[in-house]
Structure formats: C-alpha cells, structure tokens
Structure 1
C-alpha cells in the first residue's frame, strides 16, 4: 500500500519534454514500457463516479492488481496485490474493499488501456525523488459500442513525499513548454466520463445549497474511511465514527432545511454505536497502558498488564468482527443508498431557500442555546447519578454545537471558528470527566474478574484512585471553563 501524489497534464502528439537536468542531481531515462490494463467496475460505473479505480495491469515495473482510492486533490491511496492468471475475477481482498461503492453489484471489465510509456526519473544520488511518465494511450470502452480514444499525457508522480516543492517546479516547467493540467482525474475518467453522484440543485447562496454541500462532504468522508476500516488501519474507525456523528448532528441541527431524515439518523446512530464499541476499547486500552507505564514497577502487582492489555485487546478484536459483519450487511448498504437518495432528492423545508448567512447564523445560535439550557437543567439535579446523566447531555449538546459551527465555517467565517473552539472546550472538559468515570467502571469490572481468579487487586485500586482524581479535577475545572466560554460566546452571538 502507498500514497500516490501526482499531477497530470494533457499534451499534443508532437510535445517535447523540457530539460529537467537542473532540478535534480541525476535525471535517468527515458526508459520505455508497454502497459496493458483492464479496468473493472459495475455496469453503471459506481467506482468511477466516486474517483475509485480498480485495474489489472501487465508490463512495467509494477505489474499486478491496483486499487486506487481518493484521499485529496492530486493524492490517492494505492493498494496492490500480485498479478493473477485470471482476468474474470477480481481478487477477493480488493473486491471486499470496494463493497461500500458496489453494494452487491458485480464487477466486470469496463475498459482496456494500451499505453506506450516512457519514464524519466529524477534522483538525488541513489534516492528516487520523482517519476515523469510520458504516455501515448489507446483506450477502449469495453461496454456496449466499444468506443476507442487515443491521446498523449504526461504524469509527474512523487516518489519522495517530502519533495512537493520539486513537484511544483516540474509542473511549472511542463506548463511553460505547452502542457495543460488534465481535465480528468484519471485515464479511465477521460475515457468513460462517469457522472458524479447527483446532488440536488438549490438556490445559489441559500441555506439549502450550503447544507447539502456539507452533507455531501461528510458522505464522502464516510465512504473514504470504509476501506480503511476493513483493513483495520490506524485511526480509521475513529474517523468513520466522526463522519457518522457529523452527519447525524447536521441532520438534527438543520432539520428546518432538510426534513424527514429521522430514519437515516437512527441508522447513523446504530452504525456509530457499532464503530464506537471498538473505538472505546482501543482508547481505554491505550489509556491503561500509559497509566501502568507511569507507575513504579513495585506497584504493578499480579498479571494486571495482561488483563488490561491482552483481555481488552481480545474484546476489541471481537468488536472489529462485529464491525466487519455490519459493513457487509444489507442494512448498511441500504443506509448508503438512502444517503445518496437524500442528496439527490431531499425533502427541503421552509428554511432551505432563505439566504444562507441569515438563516444558518440563527441555527448556530439555537444550537448554542441548547447547550446553555442543558446546563441549566443539570444544575437543578441533586441526585449524583442523575446529575451525571444530565451533564452528559450537556456534553452531547456542546458536541452538536461544535459540529454545527464547523459545518458553517466556510459560509459564516471566523465567528464560527471561534464558536466551534468554545464548544470544543466544553466538550473536552466534560469528556475528561466522563472518560475518568468510564475508566473507573472498567477497572472495577476487571478487578472483580481478577479477585475471582485469586489475583492480587492492589494495582486496580491504585488505578481507580488515579482515575477518580482526574475525573474530580475535570469536574472542579468545569465552572471556570463554562464562565469563560459563556462570556466569549455572548460576544460572538
């Protein structure tokens, strides 16, 4: 697996590459290859519509199966597996990674590209910095009709990710000599011209336009994390869970703009809960690891590290299996289809056609008001357990206010940046308290298991004391953080 960072340029057939010798210690090449690639997609091009490419390529230095997933403009994640003999079936490990896009539809060959490639490499000694590929392409649409296109293009791809300045210099040199930035994200897109996922049209600068654009960005974020979660990549579950939360929060906050989304919200909550189980275990296992590492060895008694490490890791792995089952189920595909349908044909409320700045600023203020009301209610609760629940509601309201402000940042500017920051301050201090409480509960459960096994529970008691102290400190800090936040937000709203 690697990260592909490249710039593509369209060039005429008689284009002459510029001299690049002054940009690197060594310029090696050109070296020529003949590349033949088959591209796989669903009949209605679900992968191509999302900027995903899946191919089987022969020739060159990297023959094999390649899956390219979009990460950012000009940056893609590439996953490769060795070449197989058959062209009929996509390797199962790659087919699994695109299930959020295919949603049960069969993969088939949709295009064939025959490319004569000349490669020039820019090096610093033995270190390869950048590869310049000059491609003469013959592309065949393998769907009905068999359309054929021919063109020439140049790709400048970074080998060393730290050489972005070099990539910019090469791009400037190519443009000066007559190259034009490519209008297509890939060769496949140039041939097939897939339509992007439909997004409903709203009045320019209206609340509806802003909200739908934000929802579309979060659906993209959710989909982009799906393959990473299936591969159990670092932080992927967390990022997918955040996308679920942002979507659900936006649908709640902007319910006067986009209406009738209760069913989608419920499904997003369910997906977030499944993701949250593994994420919470991951976080608390790391938390206990740090606590134990900070104790003098003489205070770590019995197999406490195994119980708080291996035992929790086993539970975390079980939670990952439940995630995989969820991501492979029809209910999940139905949610993704419903999100697509929501973006393509939403039920718009009375607020949708109104000017974005006017209507959305009021929504941001309303969401902050929910935070203050939740805290007012919490302060009237005397029972400690019920008050704990009430303060958790304050935290949830602050998180929603933060996500709402972040969603409106491009439209309403720096005031939303400040509001999001203030809401996050509330969320973090209450989160520190809540994390301490949950950690105590987990430690007490693990200590009881250890006691029944005849193990010494001294260290568990010590850790409970540390967590109780941290939770109490966050609880004591909250009134001051609240007072500062309210004063600052009054100036913003």
Structure 2
C-alpha cells in the first residue's frame, strides 16, 4: 500500500520537458511501455466515484493496482502481484471495492497502452520525485471499440520529496506550456463517467446546502469502507463519525429533507456495528496509557494480558463481525438508500427557503434542544436517574456540534464557535461517562482476575485514577455549562 501525491498536466503533442536541473540531481530520461487493463462494473460504478482498478504489465511496478479516491491531496494505492488471469480480479482487491460494486460483476472496460518516459530527481541516493511524460493510446472496450490518443505529464513525489519541491516542478512545467489537467485519472479522461447523481436544488436555498452536505458525508463513508475492511488505523472511527453525521443531519434538517426515518434507523444500526470494535480499541489504548504511566512496582499480576491482549482478541472478533456486516445485503441496501437520498430526496417545505434564514433557525433550535434536555435532567430528583439523563445532554450537544459544523461553510464563523462550544459540553460529559464506564470494565476484569487467583492490586489503583478523573469532570461541569451558555448567547 502507498500514498500517491501527484500533479497531472495536459500538454500538446510537441511539448518538451523543461530543464529541471537546479531543483535536484536529474537522472533519465528512461522509456517504458506500459499496458494496463482496467476493470469496472458495466455501468462504471468505480470510475464514477474516482476509483481505478487495473492489471498492468511493463515498467517498474507490474501487477494489480487499486487506487482509491483522493483525500487531503493524496490517493491511496493498494497493490497485488500480477496474476495469469485477465478475467478474474484478485479476491483481496474485489473485496475492497464491494461498497462500490454492491454485487455487480467486475469486467475489463478499457485498455491503456502508454509509452512512458521517466525522469527522476535525486538528492544523493534518495529519490525525490518522478516526472512521467506519457503518450497514451486509450481503448474503450465495447462492441465497437473506441480509440483515443493524447499526451500528458505527471509529477509525483517519491519517498524523499516534499510538496515544496512538487510545487517548483509544477511551476517549471507550466512555464514550458503545460496546463493542470481537469481529469482525475487517465481512465476518467477516456471513459468520461457520469458523477454520482445529485438532486438539482435551487441555488442559495436550504435544500441545496443540506443535499450537498449529505452527499459529502456519503462520500466520506464510502471512502472509509476499504480502510475499515483492511482494519487500518482510525478507519472504523472515521466511518462511524460519517454515519453519525449523516444520521444527525437527517434529524436536524427534517424540515428540509423529509421521510428519512428508515434511513436513520439503518444508520443507527451501522453505527452500532462499527461501535463495538471502536469502543474496545479506545478502551485498550486508554488502559495501556494508564499502565505505562504507573511506576513498575505498582503493576502486579498479568494485568497487561487481561487489559491488553484479551481486549485485543475481543476487538479482532468485533472486526470480523464488521466485515460480515459490510458484506451483507442490509449494508448494500443502506448504501443504495443513501445514494437515492442524495439523487432524489423528498424535500420538505423548508428546502425552498433561503439558506441563511432557514438554517440559522435550525442551528438555534439545535442548541435549544441542548438546554431543554439539560433542564429536564436537572429537574430529576433521584441522583442516579439524573446522571442517566445527563447522557442525553451529551448526545444533544454532539448533535448541535455536528449541525453547526455542517452549516459553517454557509453561515460563517459563528457556526464554528457554536460547534466548539457544543464540543466543550460533549467533552466534559464524555470524560465523566468514559471514566464511569472504565471503572465498571476494570471492576469486572478485577473480579475475573480474583477468581483466577491473580493479584488484583493494580486494578484498584486504576479504578482510583478513573474515579478521580470522572469526579473532576463532574465537578467542572457546572462552571463549563455556565460559561458555555453565556458564550452561546453572543453567537446565536
């Protein structure tokens, strides 16, 4: 697997690569012949989402290559050794695009025959960047094949390069007559796939803002799917956040997009599926930090195993359940419903109203829900029931935060402030709740250790630490609440 950071340029047939000396040592040019067969569903579901899957012969890296959509200026590329068959995609790669294919067959859709001339920039033995001058013959594989020819230049960072160097290379290429390419890939240039359908909503309305936001979160969820299947760091968390943001948006903007209760319920299910592994991951890391911070003489018995490897085993079992869920019809039905929601939403009366007017009211209502939930909780006399009700305040604050973040591009800096203030309430209540849950988890682990005849001293130490953290958060909350309420009045 690699992260690809590159810039693409369109160039005329007579273009000459400029002199790159002075930027670094220059090696080359060297020419290769590359032949790549691209795979997709018959209706080009991968290409529509910026995903490319190919089998390539020739050059320095023959094999199967899966390129996922660009995020933060970089594309993730996953490789697989070359196989004999040109008909069957390796199962490991086919698995990673299931969120896009959703059961449809993968088949060859195009072939690119590229004469690539490569120049390498070096610093001593360290490779900094690669400039590839490509003369391309593209063939669309259909009943009557369509052939297109063009030339383009790619400047890609290698292991020792910097974005500053890439910018300098790009400047020289443009000065020599290159222009930034609008195509995200050679395949997109050849196939010209239609982007995912999106509802045509009147510009400047609340409906436009909400539909665009929903589309961005659906894309975020899909982008995390392959990473979740590979159990990459933070992937489950990011996928769950995307699901939560979608569900929160559908609740908050229910006057704009209506009749979404079933989709909300399915998003709740997905969040629950993802949550088990994520919660175990966080808990294991939390206890590891606590144990690392203790003097060695306070760590007794096989506590690292119980709070480390045992939790990790449970975490891996939870990942297996995630993979099963992500390969099932219920998940694909949800993804189809989300696509339909973006392409053809059932718009309510609020959708046609000016964005500023309608969405400002929704943001204010979101914070109003937080204060109402707080007042309800504080009116409960029984301390135990009141603490349970305060968990609803945390959820309301999270929803207000997500709503404000969604509206910041439209409503401006005040939404960023509201999001930050809501997050502060969410954080202090979360610190308290996490401390309580951690104490319960430690107590159960300590009981298992006691029954096994193990020393339980360190469990008591950790429970004491967690109790102190929770009590401090509980004591801090009245002050944080008062300060937040006062600050929000200035924002809304």
Q: Distance in 2 between matches of 1:246 and 1:143?
A: 40
SS in 2 for 1:184: coil
1:152 equivalent to 2:151? Answer yes
Q: Which moved more, 1:95-104 or 1:121-130?
A: 121-130
8 Å CA contact 2:139–2:148 kept in 1: the answer is yes
1:330 equivalent to 2:329? Answer yes
Q: Which moved more, 1:235-244 or 1:382-391?
A: 382-391
Shift of 1:74: 4.6
Q: Distance in 2 between matches of 1:479 and 1:153?
A: 61
Which structure 2 residues correspond to residues 85-164 of structure 1 after superposition, within 5 A? 85-160=84-159, 162-164=161-163
RMSD: 1.0
**Residue aligning to 2:275:** 276
1:314 equivalent to 2:313? Answer yes
8 Å CA contact 1:141–1:147 kept in 2: the answer is yes
SS in 1 for 2:6: strand
4+ residue runs over 4 A deviation: none
**Residue aligning to 1:251:** 250
Shift of 1:176: 1.5
SS in 2 for 1:72: coil
1:289 equivalent to 2:288? Answer yes
Q: Any gaps of 5 or more consecutive residues in structure 2?
A: none
Deviations 1:150-196 (A, max 9, x none): 01111111114751111111111111111121121111001100000
**Residue aligning to 1:177:** 176
Q: Which moved more, 1:83-92 or 1:165-174?
A: 165-174
SS in 1 for 2:36: strand
Shift of 1:467: 0.8
| Cα gap change, 1:348 to 1:287, in 2 (>3 Å) | same
8 Å CA contact 2:129–2:161 kept in 1: the answer is no
Q: Distance in 1 between matches of 2:90 and 2:335?
A: 24
Q: Distance in 1 between matches of 2:117 and 2:70?
A: 27
Shift of 1:145: 2.3
**Residue aligning to 2:5:** 5
1:19 equivalent to 2:9? Answer no
Shift of 1:440: 0.7
Give TM-score, length-normalised by structure 2.
0.99
Deviations 1:467-490 (A, max 9, x none): 111101100000000011000000
Q: Distance in 1 between matches of 2:384 and 2:120?
A: 66
Q: Distance in 1 between matches of 2:217 and 2:292?
A: 38
**Residue aligning to 2:46:** 47
| Cα gap change, 1:72 to 1:310, in 2 (>3 Å) | closer
**Residue aligning to 2:375:** 376
Shift of 1:458: 1.9
Q: Any gaps of 5 or more consecutive residues in structure 1?
A: none
SS in 1 for 2:194: coil
SS in 2 for 1:398: helix
Shift of 1:385: 2.4
Shift of 1:143: 2.3
**Residue aligning to 2:469:** 470
Shift of 1:293: 1.6
Which structure 2 residues correspond to residues 72-83 of structure 1 after superposition, within 5 A? 72=71, 74-83=73-82
8 Å CA contact 1:32–1:117 kept in 2: the answer is yes
Deviations 1:117-160 (A, max 9, x none): 10001111111111000011000001232110001111111114
Count of matched residue pairs: 492
Shift of 1:298: 2.1
8 Å CA contact 2:126–2:160 kept in 1: the answer is no
SS in 1 for 2:10: strand
Q: Which moved more, 1:145-154 or 1:168-177?
A: 168-177
SS in 1 for 2:68: strand
Deviations 1:38-59 (A, max 9, x none): 0000000000000000000000
**Residue aligning to 2:428:** 429
SS in 2 for 1:348: coil
Q: Distance in 1 between matches of 2:185 and 2:296?
A: 56
Q: Distance in 1 between matches of 2:381 and 2:455?
A: 37
8 Å CA contact 1:357–1:412 kept in 2: the answer is yes
Q: Distance in 2 between matches of 1:214 and 1:161?
A: 37
Deviations 1:97-130 (A, max 9, x none): 0000000100000001100010001111111111
| Cα gap change, 1:278 to 1:161, in 2 (>3 Å) | farther
8 Å CA contact 1:71–1:224 kept in 2: the answer is no
Q: Distance in 2 between matches of 1:326 and 1:102?
A: 16
Deviations 1:364-394 (A, max 9, x none): 0000000001110111112232112111000
Q: Distance in 1 between matches of 2:278 and 2:422?
A: 22
8 Å CA contact 2:127–2:160 kept in 1: the answer is no
Shift of 1:294: 1.7
Shift of 1:72: 2.4
Q: Distance in 1 between matches of 2:411 and 2:105?
A: 44
Q: Distance in 2 between matches of 1:163 and 1:318?
A: 40
Deviations 1:267-324 (A, max 9, x none): 1111101111101111111111111122222222211111111111111111111101
8 Å CA contact 1:258–1:352 kept in 2: the answer is yes
Q: Which moved more, 1:247-256 or 1:440-449?
A: 440-449
8 Å CA contact 2:65–2:79 kept in 1: the answer is yes
Shift of 1:445: 1.1
Q: Distance in 2 between matches of 1:119 and 1:286?
A: 45
| Cα gap change, 1:42 to 1:14, in 2 (>3 Å) | same
